[in-house]
Amino acid sequence: MTERLDGRLARLLAALAAFALLVAACGGSSDDTDDAAPEDETEAAEAEEEAEDDDVAEAGEEAEGDVDTEIEESTGERVVGGEIAVGLEAELPGMRPWEDTCASSCYNIFVTIYDKLMESTETGEYEPWLLESITPNEDFTEWVGTLRSGVTFHNGVDLTAQSLVDMFAIQQTGSQSQSQIAASNLATVEATGDLEVTYGLSQPNSAFPAYLSRAQLGMVFEPGAAADGDAFNAAPVGTGPFVFESRDLDNETIVTKNADYWGTDSDGTQLPYLDKISFRPIPDEGTRLDATLSGTTQVAHTLRQNTIRDSRAERDGGAEITLFEFQGNNVGGGMFNVLVPPFDDIRVRKALVQLTPQDQVIEALGGTGISLPGTQWFSPDSPWYSEAAAAAWPQFDFEAGKALLEEYVNDPERSDGKAVGEKIEYELSCPPDPTLIAAMQVGFEVATSTELVDINLTNYDQQTHINYALGADNGFVGSHGAHCWRFSDDNDPSTSLNPAFAPPTAEIAAAAGIPDVVSPLNFANYFDGDIFQAAIGAIRTDNFDERYALYESISLKIAEDVPVWWSGHTATALITDDAVMGLVSWELPSGTLGQGMPNAEGRWHQVWLAG
């Protein structure tokens, strides 16, 4: 326990030290950089040697640091009753799936109150949940779903196809659902029977079921109650396994067992097992873990690898906790604003990637032994992972990176308009997280040791950081240079990848002959016609091999043009008291094993407390 206290104090000191380094870096003159150059070059050479030892992970293999908890059927005796408290990273903004932003903490609560129409399986496919079936037409512009019968909302209203039609009317007004309606190409929702609903799409979308597995379009709420949004926010009504009891904002949200829930386990026992769950936002990572170690809560939710490291140390030191770890596609790194010199030149982008020792960056981020190195949109565990793309991704190569920079710097036509031989200048910006600052410092040291670049390191709070990249004030071009970012998720690739590489501005869209397609979510402002066509092609077929080939071609093109760079994949975990069971063994109604706890999102309806 003393180690934990020491660890937290050490982190505080580390944060101060990182801050001091940042100040030094920002305030350092070019003379300072010159003085440091020989040492840095030695470090760079050492880093290069280390990098050469790294192998490309093969698809599906367990790479070093990958400690995902295995999803498996439970053999333990399931106990009905009991209650748990879950410590979450953040409070959720609101309780309305169509209106309020919903991230990992939020999903933990929402899945107790709302059932989803579709759910993801162990293998990342989508199967019906509240729907019993869903079938597309030939060109994926129409999807006909049949609802489960006999399901009622918490207020006693029956769930029918008309409920989904009425929900759609509300979703069309909701700030969260609107964007997903547009992204999924959803145009109409019609009740074509008591329990049969037909979704009409404006464009083909073979990945449409993925949208029905997320909050904005997939979580089912009672439209009658939702007519008054504010009242609904105070007393949400779904069909889920738990009924909303109370919410004390920033303190506790309590849900209790839905005695009339439709779901049963494979033995026929009615779900959920637990009587009550209290969700508590505990923003401080250390306190959240301490709360579980002390028995204040039974589960701690985390998206931070430092907390995972501390938890592993506690577990190995004898604490009676279990770590349910999940590391999916979500990957850290950043993007170059390719509309801004010098990042409009591929040589600079590629050079800077080659000058970034990825393993050292991951170490600075605290991810060594936890976080897998990123090479593409997908992690080695993903069925979409491409070994070819991993091999194509530029590895750390100091000399090659420096040579590319020299080529650019000595190019009379260089895009930044500077004189031949003059150093390249750019801004590298990350949110003010101590580990990110330390990681920036790694890249800074190696790149500046070439004596060809001047880097302005900046840190802005999350909202400012996002806004600079979004650039709503300048036609979504943004005012960023090299910008830390996170990419990808564990949904169907199309949901995150397609908008990230669609035309970023109206001018680019018009030039590409697709004036109506503009995506503010293309933060790198990188557009390639082949990538766009491949992304569109991937939602016009449901053949996995065809889709895989298309996404692989995108990954290869990204590796070639490097509009982004990768650090490591995001490690997440639910840290539980040893008595908490069932997080990895929950099943869909078909009996298929579910996806476990992706991004530390638990499925609480099949969780129980061991006796």
Q: How far apart are CA 450 and CA 405, in angstroms?
A: 9
Q: How far apart are CA 351 and CA 293, in angstroms?
A: 46
Q: Return phi, psi of residue 382, to 5°.
A: -75, 145
Least separation in angstroms between CB 338 and another protein: 19
Binding to another protein (CB under 8 A): which residues in 342-381? none
Our finding on whether 1 is near another protein (CB under 8 A) is yes
Q: Return phi, psi of residue 10, to 5°.
A: -65, -40
Task: By CB under 8 A, name the one of 354, 459, 498, 519 that touches another protein.
Answer: 519
Least separation in angstroms between CB 586 and another protein: 26
Our finding on whether 72 is near another protein (CB under 8 A) is no
Taking CB under 8 A as the rule, which mask of x and - marks residues 4-43 in contact with another protein? Answer: xx--xx--x-------------------------------
Q: How many CA atoms lie within 13 A of 252 on its CB side?
A: 11
Taking CB under 8 A as the rule, which mask of x and - marks residues 248-267 in contact with another protein? Answer: xxxxx---------------
Task: By CB under 8 A, name the one of 287, 456, 533, 541 that touches another protein.
Answer: 287
Least separation in angstroms between CB 172 and another protein: 12
Least separation in angstroms between CB 168 and another protein: 17
Task: By CB under 8 A, name the one of 33, 141, 176, 488 that touches another protein.
Answer: 176
Q: How far apart are CA 157 and CA 239, in angstroms?
A: 10
Task: By CB under 8 A, name the one of 53, 138, 421, 472 that touches another protein.
Answer: 472
Our finding on whether 179 is near another protein (CB under 8 A) is yes
Q: How far apart are CA 342 and CA 328, in angstroms?
A: 32
- Tokens linked to 391: 């091999």
Residue 418 CA to chain centroid, in angstroms? 38
Our finding on whether 229 is near another protein (CB under 8 A) is yes
Our finding on whether 480 is near another protein (CB under 8 A) is no
Task: By CB under 8 A, name the one of 53, 70, 77, 230 that touches another protein.
Answer: 230
Task: By CB under 8 A, name the one of 43, 48, 66, 91 that touches another protein.
Answer: 91
* Helix, coil or strand: residue 364: helix
Closer to another protein by CB, 9 or 24: give it.
9
Task: By CB under 8 A, name the one of 69, 233, 368, 533 that touches another protein.
Answer: 233
> Cα dist. 7→302, 367, 511, 537, 554 in Å?
17, 16, 54, 50, 42
Our finding on whether 603 is near another protein (CB under 8 A) is no
- Tokens linked to 417: 């308009």
Our finding on whether 294 is near another protein (CB under 8 A) is yes
Taking CB under 8 A as the rule, which mask of x and - marks residues 444-463 in contact with another protein? Answer: ----------------xxxx
Closer to another protein by CB, 234 or 511: give it.
234
Our finding on whether 286 is near another protein (CB under 8 A) is yes
Report the residue count for the chain: 611
Strand intervals (E) in 142-241:
142-147, 186-191, 196-201
Residue 241 CA to chain centroid, in angstroms? 26
Our finding on whether 316 is near another protein (CB under 8 A) is no
* Helix, coil or strand: residue 567: strand
Q: Are 430 and 419 in contact (CB under 8 A)?
A: no
Our finding on whether 476 is near another protein (CB under 8 A) is yes
Q: How far apart are CA 288 and CA 1, in angstroms?
A: 15
Q: How many CA atoms lie within 13 A of 312 on its CB side?
A: 15
Closer to another protein by CB, 96 or 347: give it.
96
Task: By CB under 8 A, name the one of 154, 257, 280, 480 that touches another protein.
Answer: 280
Closer to another protein by CB, 8 or 116: give it.
8
Residue 244 burial by CB count (10 A; 0-12/13-18/19+): exposed, middle or buried? buried
Per DSSP, 141 falls in state: S
Q: Which stretch binds another protein (CB under 8 A): 76-84, 170-178, 360-368, 534-542?
A: 170-178
Q: Count interface residues toward another protein (CB under 8 A).
A: 59
- Tokens linked to 206: 């073979």
Task: By CB under 8 A, name the one of 82, 124, 145, 281 that touches another protein.
Answer: 281
Using only the alpha carbons of the chain, give its radius of gyration: 25
Helix H or strand E encompassing 151: none
Closer to another protein by CB, 239 or 576: give it.
576
* Helix, coil or strand: residue 264: strand
Q: How far apart are CA 109 and CA 86, in angstroms?
A: 10
Task: By CB under 8 A, name the one of 222, 265, 290, 492 that touches another protein.
Answer: 290
Q: How far apart are CA 567 and CA 159, in angstroms?
A: 45
Q: How far apart are CA 395 and CA 401, in angstroms?
A: 10
Our finding on whether 578 is near another protein (CB under 8 A) is no
Our finding on whether 510 is near another protein (CB under 8 A) is no
Query: Would you tell me which residues interact with another protein (CB under 8 A)?
Result: 1, 4-5, 8-9, 12, 87, 91, 93-94, 99-101, 103, 175-176, 178-179, 182-183, 229-230, 233, 248-252, 280-284, 286-288, 290-291, 293-297, 460-464, 466-468, 470, 472, 476, 499, 518-521
